[in-house]
Amino acid sequence: MKYVILLGAPGAGKGTQAKLLQESLGLPQVSTGDLFRFNLKNETELGQLARTYMDKGELVPDEVTVAMVKNRLSQPDCADGAILDGFPRTLAQAEALEGLLAELGGHISIVPSIHVAQDVLLDRLLGRAEIEGRTDDNEETIRIRMRIYEEQTRPLLEFYSGKDLVVKVNGQQSIEDVQNDLIRVVQDAV
């Protein structure tokens, strides 16, 4: 089983690119955002557990997130691997993922990192917030999200670079050009 971990700051286009990669490569996109929405909406045991933390304004512990990912990767459509979008977010999650993949008999094939300059990310996110009417996405909250991403992701980039898995992809190209670059680097790795 081959797994692709797609990294990129908020606004880099991870979700869009993961969906396109899913179509191109035939590997399912596994998004933690989608997993949380599914588990919360369907009031699964993990969803109910996550809600207890969220209702208190706390971050959902890694163990709950990892359990959601484990359930998803155990589904038949993930038998050949998956594209991980939004997971892992922390070094602890990356280490948990290694153990999980060992259990499943899989491995990480490549970690494409979609790179976009901060000013471009800010413009993209402000534009998206305006289009979607998201009043919670203002410049201040976006900058906080970007800072948190940098703090949490830098160790991931170092972790996966040490395993020679990270490939930097220019995210400031057209959607099609980014997708073509991603397909090329993923196919070269799997």
Q: Are 88 and 9 in contact (CB under 8 A)?
A: no
Question: Is residue 14 annotated as a catalytic residue, yes or no?
Answer: yes
Give the pLDDT score at 130: 85
Lowest mean pLDDT across 26-30, 33-37, 136-140, 148-152: 136-140
Catalytic pick among 2, 51, 89, 143:
89
pLDDT, mean of residues 58-63 = 88
Q: Is pTM, for the whole model, over 0.95?
A: no
CA 114 to chain centre: 11
**Residue 117: predicted pLDDT:** 94
Tell me the C-alpha distance between 61 and 11, whole Å. 24
More confident residue, 54 or 6: 6
Q: Which domain holds residue 67?
A: 2-189
Residue among 19, 128, 163, 184 flagged as catalytic: 128
Q: Which one of the listed residues 134, 154, 168, 184 is annotated catalytic?
A: 134
Q: Taking residues 149-165, what's their average pLDDT?
A: 92
Domain containing 18 — which CATH number?
A: 3.40.50.300
**128 in catalytic set:** yes
From residue 189, how far is each of 28, 125, 169 by CA, in Å? Answer: 17, 31, 14
Q: What is the pLDDT of residues 73-113, one digit of tens each?
A: 999 999 999 999 989 988 999 999 999 999 999 999 999 99
154 tagged catalytic? no
- Asked if residue 113 lies in contact with residue 107, where contact means CB atoms within 8 angstroms, the answer is no
- State residue 73 phi and psi, 5-degree precision: -70, -15
Selected residue with higher pLDDT from 142 and 108? 108
Structural domains of the chain, count: 1
Q: CA–CA separation, 18 vs 2, rounded Å?
A: 15
**Cβ count within 10 A of residue 11:** 24
Q: Is position 37 annotated as part of the catalytic site?
A: no
89 in active site: yes
